[in-house]
Amino acid sequence: MVESDIEVALRRSGLRVTRPRVAVLTVLGDHPHTDTDTIIRRVREVAGDVSHQAVYDVLRALTDAGLVRRIQPTGSVARYEVRVGDNHHHVVCRSCGVIADVDCAVGEAPCLDASDGHGFLIDQAEVTYWGLCPPCATDAAS
């Protein structure tokens, strides 16, 4: 996202345009699936001195507004991405922890049919694939 797109997105979501919000969205646009500590470090590189609490508050506000998606694969810290509004999934490397997006095979939510929905109106499925990324698979084979 370029800065003007970020400002428009913030305003459309009813959020004020602030330096920390723009910085967090910029960082996440350039580095998807980023953990909070890395976001804080990169935001400070872009926007100067921004407190830990300010970044946490921004992430919560952006997630609540639907501009950011929070994911937390088993055994991992929370990670954030700006790819929202679709029904994509993730693949995680068991060795190094790298995460990549996987498009929904069907193309529409919820992408999968539950064998028993227990009366729920299901509108989304979250799937995490696990395996080895190409570099880790190569290392494991040698």
Give the residue numbers of the binding site for Zn(2+).
Answer: 93, 96, 133, 136
3-state class (DSSP) for residue 32: coil
Which CB contacts under 8 angstroms, 24+ apart, belong to 115-121?
none
For residues 87 and 92, give the distance between their C-alpha atoms in angstroms, rounded to a whole number: 17
Q: Which residues contribute to the annotated binding site for Fe cation?
A: 108
3-state secondary structure 66-79: CCCEEECCCCCCCE
Per the annotation, binding residues are: 93, 96, 108, 133, 136
